[in-house]
Amino acid sequence: MGVTRLKRKEAKNRTRTTKRVDDIKRLRAVKNIPSPYKGESGIILEEQN
């Protein structure tokens, strides 16, 4: 009976670790968002009404 319990615990720890590593990779990923004003250099944004 102890072996079955340890196998269940091992499986739970493995899935928890996999999810944790995936979350860390997802949160550390660099997201490049292009600037909407990239081609309009030198324009002051408050005066664009």
- Could you report the per-residue pLDDT of 1-49, keeping only the tens digit for each? 688 999 999 999 999 999 999 999 999 998 888 777 676 666 666 655 5
Q: For residues 46 and 27, what is the distance between their CA atoms, to the nearest angstrom?
A: 33
pTM passes above 0.85: no
Q: Of 39, 33, 37, whose CA–CA distance to 48 is shortest?
A: 37
Contact 37, 43 (CB under 8 A): yes
Residue 47 has a pLDDT of 57
The ranges assigned to domains in the chain are 1-27
